[in-house]
Structure 1
Amino acid sequence: MTHPRLTTASGIPVDDNQNSLSAGGRGPLLLQDFHLIEKLQHFNRERIPERVVHAKGSGAYGTFTVTHDLRPYTKAALFAEIGKQTPVFLRFSTVGGEKGSADTERDPRGFALRFYTEEGNWDLVGNNTPVFFIKDPINFPDFIHTQKRDPQTNLKSANMVFDFWSKAPESLHQVTILFSDRGTPDGYRHMDGFGSHTYSLINAGGERHYVKWHFKTRQGIRNLSAVDATRIAGLDPDYAQRDLFEAIARGDYPQWDVKVQVATETQLADWSQRTGWNPFDLTKVWPHADFPTLPVGVLELNRNPENYHAEVEQAAFSPANVVPGMGYSPDKMLQGRLFAYHDAQLYRVGTNHQHLPVNAPRCPFHNHQRDGAMAIANGGAARNYHTLDAVGRGAGGMGHGEPELALAGNAGRFDFRGQEDDYTQAGKLFRLMTAQERQNLCDNLAGPLSQVDAQILERQLGHFDKADPGYGRGVRAALKALGRNVD
């Protein structure tokens, strides 16, 4: 079957719809990649009015308290001294479900955290998993479409889901987590959170360290069985919302230990050469044996919102919001999100969404942005432009004392599919599970896989085999128990 040639909305032929334009194979993305930007912009405007992803959510306010000295790595003011507290707002969510979906569906959980610092808002927008399904943002709209509804039947489709995953072996690590017991956490209080991406910290000496953020629940990990998750979805679809709200209301404040993995650029380069893994690949973890976690502080949620719509529904996060002493990384998915999240909020909430109380910084702010809908803080009589310095200021680096980031390589679209190791980490995760956890994983996968076409099933089983032969055998046995014949 032939398909019409893919073009932009202006009819310009698209030569490559698989790989974003980057500076070198592992380098950051280029703003000139209009196809990527148009694709993300249109994707952000597909739904009115709920979020395209993370539509069903819960939120609460709290505090972050510094317990260990992070100043060797960052000059960010919120880490200035032991015992310092910063107010926060945290929104939990499911990812693929609509606003009326059940809290207990098998799905990753969003973990979007805002720190109201004296230097502006820092948004750490992550999930309850340390990895994700894809490594290039140009694939994100396609991936999410497979998680939504078939355009003809308006039904969820296992065929769509596994057609995508079976052709994207990079997804296997996250798929393994999703269909394990961790895919249905027992509410929001009993799960960990992760920044997932690699970020950077800059200290007072202008030195850069790369970091991954971890939030370890003090309530203990608790998950629901597939049977219990389905039962609760029918009895109380707002189970996680109810649990979080009522716990805070009775003074049982949930807490998480905040930790980081830290590495220099040289350490990551050496590790990458040894393992063959890209340290900025969102489908990979940094093993704790190579990069142990360091304690930083404690996160506590201790106040419920007074109005759900104003404070939870209109909360608008963006990973582009970092404060002095922090920065980004060449992670391609992060680079795409730096644009896409703010763009989504401009559409979903409005051009002045940062003026709303839940989004507004709690420190003085000033810019030259004016007008637009709901211009609550419109600058008064102050001028609406910035005066240029005719002789220049001799700026260097990337701002706020962050050193320059060396980039190398020819600009182009780089395709490493089939050349990278997408199986070792998924296989290690499978082997870390107990016998019962492996059985649960295989049973959970067998349900949707029993509904997919034979060629899709064969591709997906091949990925399990490459991760660990026992993984493939287990899923085949579970499929046969459901009456699906497999070789």
Structure 2
Amino acid sequence: MAKDNQKKPANQPHQQNAKSKQLDQYRKDHKNSTLTTNQGMPVSNTADSLKAGERGPTLMEDFHFREKMMHFDNERIPERVVHARGFGVHGYFQVYEPQTELTSAKFLQDPSVKTPVFTRFSTVVGQKGSDDTVRDVRGFATKFYTEDGNYDLVSNNMPVFFFHDAMKFPDFVHSIKPEPHNEMPQATAAHDTLWDFVVSNPESAHMMMWLMSDRAIPRSFRMMEGFGVNTFRFVNAEGKGRFVKFHWKPLLGAHSLVWDESEKLRGADPDFLRRDLWDAINNGDYPEFELGVQILEEEDEFAFDFDILDPTKLWPEEQVPVKKIGKMTLNQNQDNFFAETEQVAFHPGHVVPGIDFSNDPMLQGRLFSYLDTQLLRLGGPNFAEIPINRPIVPVKNNQREGFHRMSIDKGAVSYSANSMRGNSPEPDPENGFKHHAEKVEGRKTRKRSDSFNDHYSQATLFWNSMSFPEQQHIIKAFHFEVGKVKDKTIRQRVVDMFNNVDGQLASQIAMGIGVNPPENPGGSGETTSSPALSQENTIKSATTRKVAILIENGFDLKDVDQVTTELGSAGLQYDIISKHQGMITSADGKQIEANKSYAISNSVMYDAIYIPGGKQSTDQLMSHNDAKTFVNDAFVHAKTIGAANSAVDLLMISEIKQITLADKNTPNTVATDMGIVSIRDSRDLSAFSHEFITNIAQHRHWARENKDGKMSG
């Protein structure tokens, strides 16, 4: 068996466009082998400061020391107020067919054009140094470098938001951030101020259902949906406008961690999601997302029992189908985290002709807030000149000054209109951006339309749409998050509030947090469901999943070779794990390398476990507490476990007796029960491998959840 068990990267598609060449040149420019100062002067020594004698004081004339230290002292920039912890990757987007009828946006017309993109995934609440797997909303922001300028699609992995109007954004963020008197807790909603905000703002009920669901702890950025949240407009060349909501649909499906996994990962690998994305791209497993749109004709604006401009509401896909119009492929990791991921500036107001805004009240506020934030964070108005933010098309305007100006514009004219340059640059009435000609009238008022006042029906729709395991996870999330609230009055108000969503849900929440169940179980009266909201109905695929293979000396080499060959052919990754890293000897004297040990790996880092045969190896595994804990955690987390030949004995010592395992009296027969796949006395593991991979594709085997798989010994 080859020692290198990682899939080799496929050839990356060539992006023959200006942005790609610009980025390539940028990288080449920063590969000079000679160290210089910021002024380009070659440096002879960067380890010792200039001193008066070998043990004397440092001299003020040491300009290299002063420049190096000055830069170091000023390297930190203000972190984002929200979405501070992020990770970015490059890729490209291609439309499937011309969308001329819907929009005049040029990047949505030619299927042969690969539009460069940069996508940043993020958590919302935590600081830059917080953990990847916390319960939180995830950001999913994409910058398209189009021939009409940059377009930013700023999305989240949940389709709704906490409130209607951006006026509440500062209050909400203040409530969910660490409490100001003690700066605790970090990166979590499990505290008093957040839940006080929730019960005081019932419009947040729907979003809180999403936040308590498995969607808040994604298995991977690669397995996470994205939603534009706000309502935008498509406008075609004839000026006809339509309302649109944007969706990203991962080709690997939408999958999540379980809560115990996410908590253990925070200790085992706080960078789990970003590492997963980095490794996948390096392995050639390029994440792919289809861009979908929900389209509403303007004449149907009031055809629903909810307001389509309400950001706390979604458009059910069964009523407004998602049309998939193109695909994004993420195929290149960043070269420098700060220069790219940290300095990238997204803004929902960065649109191109053919895409316009609606009167969504939260969107209107975001158009101000994002720009205002970049001015402080990136040091002034010229942040668009930073390479990662720079468009691929020429920028021509009359802006000349400000902090960190990089362009050098020639000539005396910096105003419009002018005659000295023939009024150049001048507007393009034909091809320039035109706002949709929407008729607007009304009195000035600080009021909200009554059509926004139903706060609970869609929260109930979400609850009705969940599978039984998903509902149980929501209840447990409430127990943890609200159980952390110290003020018992707030806990009681949470129960009373969610009684408006579903009476049984409210009663089960109350049972776990020490307050009274509702006297009169209620609900919103909503009886329908939306299958599209449940992750049980997502794409199921084993591709790119990661398998832990547990072995010790004396393992059966054929058991390893056959299964790993099948795993590789099916596009899965795997690690060989043993008590110690290094070479492990098989029963027939051959060696392979264990690239991980139990000290640096953990069951929560993998999607499945495989244990090959070999009596000596099995006996050692049965005596290792680390190995038994590894298997036990995978069992409790409802993951697929496979065992071949003598390795079935390891599973036999489990205290779970309901699982049907391969029997010695039926050799060469694959047994499968609740995601446990086993076979005995077989030299041909083809059928076993196929069944094992099929079970991995299911993601989890929920019938096994909450069972105690503790092993004896």
Within 5 Å, give how 1:75-94 maps onto structure 2. Answer: 75-94=104-123
Q: Secondary structure at the match of 1:358?
A: helix
- The residue that corresponds to 1:477 in the other structure is 511
Counterpart of 1:467, as a letter, is V
Q: Distance in 1 between matches of 2:106 and 2:231?
A: 21
- The residue that corresponds to 1:375 in the other structure is 405
- The residue that corresponds to 1:357 in the other structure is 387
Deviation at 1:48, TM superposition (A): 5.8
Q: Distance in 1 between matches of 2:77 and 2:310?
A: 32
Contact 2:301 2:308 in 1 (8 A): yes
Q: Secondary structure at the match of 1:189?
A: helix
Q: Distance in 2 between matches of 1:461 and 1:91?
A: 36
Question: Higher RCO, 1 or 2 (CA under 8 Å, sep at least 6)?
Answer: 1
Q: How many residues of Structure 1 are paired with residues of Structure 2 in the alignment? A: 430
Within 5 Å, give how 1:189-228 maps onto structure 2. Answer: 189-228=222-261
Counterpart of 1:285, as a letter, is L
Question: Is 2:336 the partner of 1:307?
Answer: yes
Within 5 Å, give how 1:13-412 maps onto structure 2. Answer: 49-156=78-185, 158-271=191-304, 275=305, 277-350=306-379, 351-381=381-411, 383-387=413-417, 400-412=433-445
Counterpart of 1:58, as a letter, is F
Q: Distance in 2 between matches of 1:222 and 1:197?
A: 24
Deviation at 1:474, TM superposition (A): 2.2
Q: Distance in 2 between matches of 1:96 and 1:349?
A: 20
Q: Distance in 2 between matches of 1:472 and 1:83?
A: 53
Range that drifts further, 76-85 or 343-352: 76-85
1:421 alignment partner, one of 454, 470, 487? 454
Structure (1 or 2) with the larger CA radius of gyration: 2
Residues 52 and 403 (structure 1), Cα distance of their counterparts in 2 relative to 1, 3 Å cut:
closer
- The residue that corresponds to 1:33 in the other structure is none
Question: Is 2:491 the partner of 1:457?
Answer: yes
Q: Secondary structure at the match of 1:467?
A: coil
Residues 396 and 314 (structure 1), Cα distance of their counterparts in 2 relative to 1, 3 Å cut:
closer
Q: Distance in 2 between matches of 1:264 and 1:418?
A: 19
Q: Secondary structure at the match of 2:183?
A: coil
Q: Distance in 2 between matches of 1:401 and 1:145?
A: 37
Q: Secondary structure at the match of 1:256?
A: strand
Q: Distance in 2 between matches of 1:56 and 1:404?
A: 39
Q: Distance in 2 between matches of 1:376 and 1:121?
A: 18
The sequence identity of aligned pairs, in percent, is: 39
Counterpart of 2:507, as a letter, is R
Q: Distance in 1 between matches of 2:449 and 2:148?
A: 40
Residues 398 and 286 (structure 1), Cα distance of their counterparts in 2 relative to 1, 3 Å cut:
farther
Deviation at 1:381, TM superposition (A): 2.7
Deviation at 1:478, TM superposition (A): 2.9
- The residue that corresponds to 2:586 in the other structure is none
Range that drifts further, 443-452 or 397-406: 397-406
Residues 160 and 398 (structure 1), Cα distance of their counterparts in 2 relative to 1, 3 Å cut:
farther
Q: Distance in 1 between matches of 2:459 and 2:81?
A: 28
Contact 1:167 1:459 in 2 (8 A): no
Q: Secondary structure at the match of 1:260?
A: strand
Counterpart of 2:288, as a letter, is Q
Deviation at 1:270, TM superposition (A): 2.5
Contact 2:356 2:436 in 1 (8 A): no
Deviation at 1:222, TM superposition (A): 1.6
Please give the per-residue CA displacement for 1:136-191, whole angstroms capped at 9, x wherever unaligned: 11110110111111111221261101000111111111111111111100121110
Counterpart of 2:256, as a letter, is N
- The residue that corresponds to 1:432 in the other structure is 465
Counterpart of 1:164, as a letter, is F
State the TM-score, normalizing by the size of structure 1: 0.85
Contact 1:396 1:404 in 2 (8 A): no
Deviation at 1:56, TM superposition (A): 0.3
Q: Distance in 2 between matches of 1:348 and 1:254?
A: 30
Q: Distance in 1 between matches of 2:472 and 2:412?
A: 65
- 4+ runs of 1 displaced by more than 4 Å? 393-399, 415-419
Counterpart of 1:321, as a letter, is H
Contact 1:64 1:88 in 2 (8 A): yes
Q: Secondary structure at the match of 2:152?
A: strand
Contact 2:138 2:156 in 1 (8 A): yes
Please give the per-residue CA displacement for 1:360-383, whole angstroms capped at 9, x wherever unaligned: 000111111121221011423362
Q: Distance in 2 between matches of 1:161 and 1:464?
A: 15
Residues 450 and 211 (structure 1), Cα distance of their counterparts in 2 relative to 1, 3 Å cut:
same
Please give the per-residue CA displacement for 1:317-353, whole angstroms capped at 9, x wherever unaligned: 1000000111011011111111110111111012211
Where structure 2 has 5 or more consecutive residues not aligned to the other structure, the ranges are 1-75, 420-425, 518-713
Counterpart of 2:442, as a letter, is G
Q: Secondary structure at the match of 1:411?
A: coil
- The residue that corresponds to 1:38 in the other structure is none
Q: Distance in 2 between matches of 1:123 and 1:193?
A: 13
State the TM-score, normalizing by the size of structure 2: 0.58
Q: Distance in 1 between matches of 2:310 and 2:247?
A: 17
Q: Distance in 2 between matches of 1:68 and 1:416?
A: 38
Contact 1:325 1:402 in 2 (8 A): no
- The residue that corresponds to 2:500 in the other structure is 466
Q: Distance in 2 between matches of 1:397 and 1:290?
A: 36
Deviation at 1:463, TM superposition (A): 2.2
Q: Distance in 1 between matches of 2:429 and 2:399?
A: 25
Q: Distance in 2 between matches of 1:472 and 1:110?
A: 29
